[in-house]
Chain A
């Protein structure tokens, strides 16, 4: 027999030609515009943070690969992606040691002690972020104003969420909406956002807070990669077109959060029910980054579509609770980690519907009739 090089293997003999690596690199590509925006508004220090995070993650992965004689995972992009996500979740002014610790923790403790790619039970990048967040709360809560909004001193500013939380904590804001609270405290917004807001009010008759406009386009204080909701959504659309993420998790998450925030979000401001300003909330903090890029992490989210919806609803619920009633405003990451823990349970009990109808027994039916 003279066909030496042919392969004999089980069917199917065709493949969709996607791979773990192509997925990981595609997600990294989708994140790049938002990361570059972060570099633009926060300066080159932000780029430094991103590079340090990525380099640490890849280096730790490499060292662990050497140890475990599996040299492939370095090229699959998963460590790069984890590093990129860690970096994007850092304030631009964090000490360089912070992203190093976060990335190393993410890859070594969260990913590899559980068995490497596919075996971790919480999202490594989020775990890394949360680890340093609670370890260096001061460092991690010191944000820089974006270049586009640098009317006040650039370093050590609060995010809109922190600003609102502090103002409410002082009890000085009874009966004001979020926008009202920010305006009261003199929180800045860009001239562009001001004119967009005015245009909406005058032409369309819709009240749109200038803070929401700034949050949407990324002219707010925050972590490097989370500020531009606009570019993150553009990246998410790219991933959806490529069928790497599906709508179930982000939509159910954001819808649940919005509904709860709209219903109960106004209460802490001294307003009634159904007065919450959920739009500003959606575009600020890590909400968009979390919904489209963190919660959708394949390893730590359910495998069934129905399970994904349940998972998203859970995140929305906890994100609402933690943001409005927790002591820290930036809590999407905690909500996602909390729901990561439920994923094995969701996958166990929420099963896809099995093909095949139930045939009614004709005789029994006749007897009843």
Chain B
């Protein structure tokens, strides 16, 4: 019997709903009539625009320049014309400038044949990754070239690849592992060359047995030095802190990074993007998005050009079968509810969901009965009930003193609260106001 690890503290077990879409092969969304490509698709400073209204662009052309150390380049997904530059509000409430690009009627897509990359040095690869605008595609969208730049004097014990995809409904990474197994692994090996880890681990939750199997087969036939570690299903295992606890049994201290415990964490979608960037010199201009949820007519995994409007994705899936309670961009635990279907898919958009199954969503709040479920569920060892009370009373400094900043808004507390208190909402508010 293989020992199947997980992280220890806290966590919850929502119904994973993966079965809705995990059998659907990745399809390509047809090129939409119009793309909205925001300048801020990543964590950090928005990119500086390089083009103006009326300019023509070619697919893969840089149209936004990284404006600081933590920032990322933006590229045009298609051959086309910039019809407008306007302000848009993204699903995560970020307001940013965006290019409105009208693709050419004929042959709008770029062509990126594979180029030899074995002879590239680590520095050259890193430069290409930066140039191609690669950011983490799991949702946090941290610029990848920053993450992979190991400072002098630090060495990488383990490269841990995040194949957990712990958010319910989402199956984009799952399908990538199944369908693009070798390319994902090649992406991982590129990162291995850059970061020189002592060992490489792919953590995959045990509800994706086929992916574990396929990865192991392809690893064996190519003799890659990679171990696949099945993990017990538990949310939020896909968070890098919980993932490192589960795979290499290290706990990242508060406010520190994986590198401080000798690890680099990378997710599956990012590995694939890195392969495309380095081997094809193809910028990050498309990604896989899961379109799912009970109210969605059909469930899909779509390869989508960045900038496609969510309305296009929903229309491709046949629209909604009935009025959903909520539209979500991302996963249901940490994703953002949106009401405007004209918002674009960006680098971090992992799913578009139409949920209707949540009577609990509309349940009224009742007083806290101190049941302690949030405390038991918190993977960071916080006391959400106490923090919420402090924030409610505007005692932000006191909340900070109780490690409020350790909260990563994973949602376990709100999920388990029988009083239906908006605990995560409170944490977000407290963090924002407490910083001031």
Tell me the interface secondary structure of chain B in the complex: loop
- On whether the beta carbons of B424 and A13 are closer than 8 Å, the reply is no
Interface residues of A in 54-113 (CB under 8 A from B): 72-73, 76
Segment from B99-107, B193-201, B251-259 that makes contact with A? B251-259
**A9 beta carbon closer than 8 Å to chain B:** yes
**A270 beta carbon closer than 8 Å to chain B:** no
Q: B343-379, CB under 8 A of A: which get 1 and which 0?
A: 0000000000001001111111011111110011011
Given A303-B375, A357-B261, A13–B340 Cβ distance below 8 Å? no
**B411 beta carbon closer than 8 Å to chain A:** yes
Tell me the interface secondary structure of chain A in the complex: loop
Give bound CA distance, A357 to B249, whole Å: 10
**B45 beta carbon closer than 8 Å to chain A:** no
**A16 beta carbon closer than 8 Å to chain B:** yes
Q: How many residues of B contact A (CB 8 A)?
A: 70
Q: How far is the CB of B355 from chain A (nearest CB, A)?
A: 6
Q: How far is the CB of B132 from chain A (nearest CB, A)?
A: 30
- On whether the beta carbons of B9 and A3 are closer than 8 Å, the reply is no
Q: How far is the CB of B285 from chain A (nearest CB, A)?
A: 27
- On whether the beta carbons of A7 and B326 are closer than 8 Å, the reply is yes
Of A19, A117, A351, A357, which one neighbours B251 at CB under 8 angstroms? A357
**A14 beta carbon closer than 8 Å to chain B:** yes
Interface residues of B in 398-412 (CB under 8 A from A): 403, 406, 409, 411
- On whether the beta carbons of A23 and B334 are closer than 8 Å, the reply is no
Interface residues of A in 1-16 (CB under 8 A from B): 1, 3, 5-16
- On whether the beta carbons of A352 and B366 are closer than 8 Å, the reply is no
Q: B398-436, CB under 8 A of A: which get 1 and which 0?
A: 000001001001010011101110101100100000000
Q: B319-332, CB under 8 A of A: which get 1 and which 0?
A: 00001111110001
Give bound CA distance, A352 to B374, whole Å: 12
Give bound CA distance, A302 to B386, whole Å: 12
**A345 beta carbon closer than 8 Å to chain B:** no
- On whether the beta carbons of B372 and A303 are closer than 8 Å, the reply is yes
**B341 beta carbon closer than 8 Å to chain A:** yes
- On whether the beta carbons of A116 and B367 are closer than 8 Å, the reply is yes
**A138 beta carbon closer than 8 Å to chain B:** no
Query: Once A and B bind, how many residue pairs between them come within 8 Å at the CB atom?
Result: 181
Q: Which residue of A lies closest to B403 (CB)?
A: A354
- On whether the beta carbons of A1 and B325 are closer than 8 Å, the reply is no
> Which residues of B have CB within 8 Å of A117?
366-367, 369
> Which residues of B have CB within 8 Å of A349?
none
Interface residues of A in 254-309 (CB under 8 A from B): 298-305, 308
Q: How far is the CB of B35 from chain A (nearest CB, A)?
A: 19
Of B260, B334, B366, which one neighbours A11 at CB under 8 angstroms? B334
**B14 beta carbon closer than 8 Å to chain A:** yes
Q: How far is the CB of B93 from chain A (nearest CB, A)?
A: 10
Of B251, B406, B424, which one neighbours A12 at CB under 8 angstroms? B424
**A327 beta carbon closer than 8 Å to chain B:** no
Of B256, B341, B371, which one neighbours A3 at CB under 8 angstroms? B341
**B381 beta carbon closer than 8 Å to chain A:** yes
Give bound CA distance, A72 to B366, whole Å: 9
Give bound CA distance, A118 to B366, whole Å: 9
Give bound CA distance, A156 to B393, whole Å: 54
> Which of B9, B324, B415 has most A Cβ within 10 Å?
B415
Residues of chain A at the chain B interface (Cβ within 8 Å)? 1, 3, 5-23, 72-73, 76, 116-119, 298-305, 308, 347, 351-359
What are 18 pairs between A and B in contact, CB < 8 Å?
A: A3-B327, A6-B326, A9-B425, A10-B337, A11-B335, A13-B361, A14-B415, A15-B414, A16-B416, A20-B419, A72-B366, A302-B372, A303-B370, A354-B382, A355-B379, A355-B380, A356-B256, A359-B261
Residues of chain B at the chain A interface (Cβ within 8 Å)? 9, 12, 14-15, 168, 241, 250-254, 256, 260-261, 323-328, 332-342, 355, 358-364, 366-372, 375-376, 378-383, 385-386, 403, 406, 409, 411, 414-416, 418-420, 422, 424-425, 428
The 10 closest A-B pairs by CB, nearest first: A12-B411, A303-B372, A15-B360, A10-B425, A118-B367, A356-B253, A298-B371, A357-B251, A354-B381, A13-B332
Known contacts A8-B338, A14-B333, A352-B381; 7 further A-B pairs (Cβ under 8 A): A6-B327, A10-B337, A11-B334, A19-B363, A20-B367, A304-B375, A308-B372
